[in-house]
Amino acid sequence: MAIQSPPPNESVEITQKLILSRTDVQSLGIWQSNQTLLRMEARGAFPRRLKIGGTTCAWDKQEILDWLEDRRIERKTWRYADAS
């Protein structure tokens, strides 16, 4: 079964995608600069990007969603400026 691409200039909702572009990642609220994301990836603090070809890259959608869920869980125990 062949996978069909959407016609040119027709948007595809994030819910239908398996990989996310930089714009898709930003639409999820991840607004760090490309350089910051590269540093986070190198430290293992953000999912590593997939090289699609040439200079094009994307991220695995499930890895990004899992990373966001981890941040939500972390938020429950994290205390800003905790004096302890």
| pLDDT for the residue 79 | 76
- Got the DSSP string for 43-78? HTSSPPPEEEETTEEEEEHHHHHHHHHHHHHHHHH-
- Give the pLDDT confidence of 9-29 residue by residue, as tens digits: 556 677 788 999 999 999 999
Q: Compute the mean pLDDT over every residue in the chain, rounded to the nearest whole number.
A: 86
Question: Using CA atoms, how far apart are residues 56 and 52, in angstroms rounded to an integer?
Answer: 5
Q: Average the pLDDT over 22-46 and give the result.
A: 97
Question: Using CA atoms, how far apart are residues 10 and 15, in angstroms rounded to an integer?
Answer: 15
**Is residue 49's pLDDT more than 70?**
yes
Q: Which tokens go with 27?
A: 């639409």
